[in-house]
Amino acid sequence: MIWEVFRQEQAGEYHTHCGNVHAPDREMALTFAQIQHGRRKPTHSLWVVPQPEVSEVDDEAATFGGTTDKSYRWVMPYNRVDPEFAEEIAESEAEQRDADEQRSEG
Amino acid sequence: MDLDTVKERAGPREFGPGDDMPEEYRKAATRMIQFHANSEIMGAYLEKPFIRQSPSLDRKLAFSAKTQDEIGHGQLLYRAAESLGVKTREQMLDELAAGEGKFLNCFHYPMTEWQETPMIAFFVDGAAMRRQATLKRTSWEPYAHAMDKICFEEGFHIKHGEDIMRELATGSKRGQELLQEAFEEWWPRILQFFGPTDDDSTHHDFSADVGLKRMGNDELRQAFLNAYIPKAEKYGLEIPEKPRIVEEDGTYEVIEEDLDWEEFFTVAKNEYPSGREQINGRKEAQEAVAWVRKSLDDWEHAGTAGASTQRAAD
Ligand SMILES: [Fe+2]
Ligand SMILES: [Fe+2]
């Protein structure tokens, strides 16, 4: 069976997908995951998930973010007010601008 | 894990569902996150009527998006609370409906006029955002992860709220007057957002000791006032004479005795009349859509819902 592997670099971070292993059972999948994915890159924790248990939807089947203009739910159009007055608002603004840029590059 | 170990290790995002946490920790975290989740939901119900009452299509779209976000925040937070193993989401929603679930003071008051909307969407969301930014470093990892997503989204809420205020403040004389009226009505409640000053309690605050809370109420209130009083002034709002606010070396101090703490504690106990109405209004909505939850549950328990029931070979 194929097992998908998710690695968390440090406590508190997100487990992100990093590959898969071929193993006959859960215990060996955990061992193989350590050998293949936990040795060089910093690793705090690994998850293994049986591949058939993972369901997928991709951008061919779905239009992520919808088909209509939803700019009103972003910070960008509200450009007559200044987010810099509070650190946490400026940070949220920066994160949204980043995400929007990455989306339009894709 | 014993309590001393918890206090020793209590760094940002330190503990998660895989850790064996003592009951005191799990209960305190549940109380805190449930309060937060309830507040997101009750805030959404307060703003919901403005999807209909918005004066333009832009505002209507933004209010529907914001309300949807807030309900989503509530759901994320109930998940984070559930992961402590103390209460289920269903239990927490039922407690809210029964008037046992506690939530933010500001969401116990009615909001009926358009001019009032920036009081929530700018000031209250802004105060919440100040606190939430510090909670990205809470010790319960699922709570911190919920904060990542919530803080990402909130920038839009606050800018949208400020934009409404800007529009009103630069519009007709009548609009400006109504904005000032709304501000005077809401300002004391907003000042009470962070609760009474906690000079005496900080050192013995359990949730601070175990890293759930990262900043005391006094410090949060201070940071909020430093950023938001200048904003209010920028839009020509006059800060009411009472409660007195003493400014010294660029920091503000609220004179506590000028605020109505009896009302605050009545609100906190869910005994304030308009708050009860809000609670009951949401309860009715919860009952009205019970059939949706039931059909989802039936489907899940029939074991036919998509997920492969065959366990992977262990
Ligand atoms: Fe929210
Ligand atoms: Fe919000």
Task: Write down the domain spans for chain B.
Answer: 3-313
Cβ distance B160 to A80 less than 8 Å, yes or no, reads: no
Superfamily holding B3-313: Ferritin, core subunit, four-helix bundle (1.20.1260.10)
Q: In the predicted model, is pLDDT for residue B284 greater than 90?
A: yes
Domain count within chain A: 2
CB A97 within 8 A of CB B155: no
Whether A16 is in a domain gets the answer: yes
Q: Which of A38, A53, A68 is the last residue of a domain?
A: A53
pLDDT on residue B199: 56
**For the whole model, what pTM was predicted?**
0.93
> A28-82 pLDDT, tens per residue?
999 999 999 999 899 999 999 999 999 999 999 999 988 888 999 999 999 999 9
Whether A49 is in a domain gets the answer: yes
Burial track B52-65 (b if 16+ CB lie within 10 A, e otherwise): eebeeeebbbbbbb
Do residue A47 and residue A82 come from a single domain?
Answer: no
Whether A29 is in a domain gets the answer: yes
Task: Starting at the earlier edge strand, list the strands of the sheet with A45-50.
Answer: A16-22, A2-8, A45-50
Whether A59 is in a domain gets the answer: no
B65, B144, B162 ranked by CB distance to A73: nearest: B65
Q: In the predicted model, is pLDDT for residue B257 greater than 80?
A: yes
Which residue from B minimizes the CA distance to A50? B312
Backbone angles phi, psi at B51, to 5 degrees: -65, -40
Q: Can you give the CATH number for the domain in which A9 is found?
A: 3.10.20.520
Whether A71 is in a domain gets the answer: no
Domain that holds residue A32: 2-53
Report the pLDDT averaged over residues B158-174: 97
Whether A61 is in a domain gets the answer: no
pLDDT on residue A103: 86
Beta strands per DSSP E along chain B: 245-248, 251-254
Q: In the predicted model, is pLDDT for residue B306 greater than 70?
A: no
- In chain B, which residues have their Cβ closer than 8 Å to the Cβ of A26? 312-314
Whether A23 is in a domain gets the answer: yes
Which residue from B minimizes the CA distance to A49? B312
Whether A64 is in a domain gets the answer: no
What is the amino acid identity at position B43? G
